[in-house]
Structure 1
């Protein structure tokens, strides 16, 4: 990540692997009595015990680690402290709060809404994101837009959640409201039941609901119960210095644009929702991906890319169709040109095994050719863009970014100038000339979108 901030170390260090989506340590299965009384003792111990909950934006176990929006923040924070995070996945919200109260974790990072009731049990750090509480229902089923209508549906919500507090408050003026509470690590079990028409509706934070809709396109959000609910990490007030440490870190994270960039990475694509497109993708995951998954996994082992990324790229290229062909002659599941295929030793572009292996090696080659200044996940996005438009045009865009006072090594900044390659006043001054620069911008966004959906929905 090109934008960094400093509170001892650059937070950009969260980028630990090719994609920068944290390859965190495997979670523990029980809370840990830390024995720490100050942040300094945490540093000396070299370990940050992080309590979390399983969910698409909090923590998802991927075998040798995990990933999630919360994980990315934790990794950056731990890097700044100079410690290694150890994750403990709690069974539900109350268990997490209780463990923090007992000193069985240094922080709780689980996308928890800051509420007065929770504040009586634990200490909250600074707010880092605001969300609304969305009522989520199934397309074609009940879709309440008023509290009176909501009282008539089969509503099940996450036990111990802020949604229960909101409903309890609303019930004072709307006594007809009723709901069932279910203990779980996140709202996802209820969201899945709604998607499968087992429940009429549930409630979820807006970003979680939008994320779930990428996996279950039949979900709809007919109304919100509240707006601008702040999220925060929690800790025990007896842990000396944590208040100041978190305040300093989050202040710097906001000021540097780090959190804004992280929000864009995780949630910037969610507004671009196409029901038919997402439904088709979900269908292809079920009926096509299993046939080719082994090829992606093998190629990932040979190149060190995540197989989910290679699969996402292949879907963007061909929708996992080994016989795909374009008007320009590119062909196969990875849509290789004939010259590139010959260079890579791919004899049959329509052979999915050869195509995936060749395409992955080509992406790795592009990745390795990029200048040293391009780091972390930015390097992956640059390589994908080069796969789509050619390395020459990527170098042209970097020159153009530099001329305009932007960071030529930042994908966020390169996105701003790539579309200018189609305008004569700009491409006429560059070595490789005209290019449809908007295409790699869209290409990378779509690959990232599919990648996130695969990581959230397809196990290792």
Structure 2
């Protein structure tokens, strides 16, 4: 839900996806880490751990915490990405990294192999099925559904314990993939149910709303960082930092940024949209019209995009720091010369100009409305990830210039089997698909509402014709009725 620049911007921090260091036959001491100037952290590319945002910058809950800890030691952070939890744990045993920070649950089997930091958070292991699909309402009911979990996950340990009292319980273990991929399989209906940590479920249900949490497999369990058995001095340093004022603030900041807002952040409310057309749109319609005309966009589409971004709230703020009626990042606002993101007179022209820039980054030979839909998707997920998606489309013999093909390809950016070979890696690829779909839906609702209101206000044909005519710089309800819809209906 944010506007983002294609430029990668500031310095990257040695974030390598395939490289490993020699490691040797033992874990490094805290002093050796400091002398080397580098903390090596094993992780995975996923929304609850580490990924690149739309600006091509590293982010994610585990990344943010690891970066803060590395800063406290006065060393650089190097993220070493592994394909699966099993690979991460094997890498830690072989001393390929100093710490494993990958949303790891502390379990009896893992305690026997590793040291753990103090808990970063506690999570519940939840059984997730699909609304209107085949579901399980209890542990015994899991025997009646197709169930899959990630190989070597904490979920496997829990299911093995449950199997002792439920002999009919069975499941499939999937290697080399993440929990997010299995949640998508459930959402798509190719799998009945899976098991996932509550924080992973919370993030993904925003984008996969048909997912249904059935029950918790047991009591909440701690998440922490895993370390080699010999790394007692590093474990103490981690625990001391987490207990310090700086560490507590870092953990609170991460929780607020990635998790606090999830239960209440919802942009899909048709009734509210209709009310806001009447209450808010009239304040900004002239700005939408002028900006749209300048860049050859349909003003209703621009208004619909702004509603998707902010509900036409000029003071809107997202947990990731985007602000204003067009939800501009600070970097994008600076790039566009916007001094105050909360000023609609600055934000709307800038947001539309940025959308035009995204459109112009695609070939002029792409027919409309596909080119506009691709631009909207780039506004949301970033041009860097759209570049990846187009490269993947070509690899899959899909048309990178067709929105019909791209809306099938984009969700694959969240599938490890596809994104691990791409330049910018993981992205919530289903989000720009839903983003464009919502804008198209809002576009239709706004256009129909304005048409209905204009017909109610004007009983004369000439008046109705004027209401549907060229955009006017006027304001108020009458001017809002002059917004026009030219895009085809959503399909």
**Considering only CA atoms, is the larger Rg found in Structure 1 or Structure 2?**
2
Q: CA deviation at 1:249?
A: 1.0
Name the structure 2 match of 1:193.
Answer: 185
Q: CA deviation at 1:90?
A: 0.9
Question: Is 1:175 the counterpart of 2:175 in the alignment?
Answer: no
The answer to whether the 8 A contact 1:23-1:64 is kept is no
Measure the CA separation in 1 of the matches of 2:63 and 2:295.
39
Q: CA deviation at 1:237?
A: 2.8
**Greater relative CO, 1 or 2 (CA 8 Å, sep 6+):** 2
> Following TM superposition, by how much is the alpha carbon of 1:213 offset from its aligned partner in structure 2, in angstroms?
1.0
* Separation in structure 2 between the aligned mates of residue 273 and residue 85 of structure 1, nearest angstrom: 32
Distance change >3 Å, CA 118–CA 154, structure 1 → 2: same
Is the contact made by 1:125 and 1:233 (CA closer than 8 Å) also made in structure 2? yes
Residue 136 of structure 1 pairs with residue 128 of structure 2:
yes
Residue 457 of structure 1: which of 410, 429, 444 is its match?
Answer: 429
User: Where in structure 2 are the equivalents of 1:232-251 lying within 5 Å?
Assistant: 232-239=224-231, 241-251=233-243
Q: How does 1:263-412 map to 2 (within 5 A)?
A: 263-272=255-264, 277=268, 326-331=280-285, 336=287, 348=293, 351-352=296-297, 387-388=341-342
TM-score normalised by structure 1 residue count: 0.59
Distance (Å, rounded) in 2 between the aligned partners of 1:353 and 1:39:
59
Residue in structure 1 matched with residue 88 of structure 2 by the alignment: 96
1:330 aligned counterpart, secondary structure = helix
C-alpha change, 1:256 and 1:105, in structure 2 (3 Å) is closer
| CA distance 1:216–1:48, change in 2 (3 Å) | same
1-structure distance, mates of 2:278, 2:427? 25
For residue 113 of structure 2, what is the aligned residue in structure 1?
121
Change (3 A) 1:202 1:254: farther
Cα 1:247–1:271 shift into 2, 3 Å: same
In 2 relative to 1, CA 255–123 (structure 1 residues): closer, same or farther, beyond 3 Å? closer
**1:223 & 1:251 partners in 2: Cα distance?**
32
Deviation at 1:119, TM superposition (A): 1.5
Q: Could you say if the C-alpha distance between residues 135 and 243 of structure 1 is closer, same or farther in structure 2, counting changes exceeding 3 Å? A: same
Residue in 2 aligned with 1:365? Answer: none
Residue 56 (str. 1) matches residue 47 (str. 2): yes
Secondary structure of 2:168's counterpart equals: coil
Aligned twin of 2:157: 165
Residue pairs, 1:136-155, within 5 angstroms: 136-155=128-147
How big is each residue's C-alpha offset from its partner over 1:352-404, in whole Å with a ceiling of 9 and x where there is no partner? 49999xx99xxxxxxxxxxxxxxxx997659969644789xxxxxxxxxxxxx
Instruction: Report SS of the residue matched to 1:277.
Output: coil
Give the equivalent residue in structure 1 for 2:362: none
Q: Cα RMSD over matched residues?
A: 4.2
Q: In 2, distance between residues paired with 1:241 and 1:209? A: 34
Deviation at 1:349, TM superposition (A): 5.9
Deviation at 1:174, TM superposition (A): 1.2
Mapped to 2, the partners of 1:64 and 1:387 lie a distance apart of 22
SS at match of 1:37: coil
Quote how far apart the aligned CAs of 1:182 are: 0.5
1:417 matched residue in structure 2: none
* Residue equivalent to 1:47: 38
Query: Are 1:130 and 1:228, in contact at CA under 8 Å, matched by a contact in 2?
Result: yes
Q: Which has the larger displacement, 257-266 or 162-171? A: 257-266
SS in 2 for 1:96: helix
Equivalent-residue separation in structure 2 for 1:134 and 1:459 (angstroms) = 23
**In 2 relative to 1, CA 347–126 (structure 1 residues): closer, same or farther, beyond 3 Å?**
closer
Report the TM-score, using the length of structure 2 for normalisation: 0.56
Contact 2:128/2:195 (8 A) holds in 1: yes
Checking the alignment, whether the CA contact within 8 Å between 2:13 and 2:76 is kept in structure 1 is no
Gaps of 5+ in 1: 1-17, 281-315, 361-376, 392-449
Q: 1:265 to 1:173 in 2, by over 3 A?
A: same
Task: Specify every segment of 5 or more residues in structure 2 that has no aligned partner in the other structure, as ranges.
Answer: 1-6, 307-318, 329-339, 346-379, 383-413, 415-425, 433-491
| Distance in 1 (alpha carbons) for counterparts of 2:273 and 2:11 | 26
| Cα separation, partners in 2 of 1:27 and 1:390, compared to 1, 3 Å | same
Name the SS for the 1:178 alignment partner. coil
Distance of 1:21 and 1:177 partners within structure 2: 51
How far, CA to CA, are the matches of 1:22 and 1:145 in structure 2? Answer: 49
Aligned residues: 317
Cα gap change, 1:22 to 1:157, in 2 (>3 Å): farther
Residue 71 (structure 1) aligns with: 63
Q: Give the C-alpha shift of residue 169 in structure 1.
A: 0.6
**Is the CA contact (8 Å cut-off) linking 2:124 and 2:217 kept in structure 1?**
yes
Structure 1 Cα separation of the partners of residues 273 and 237 of structure 2: 45
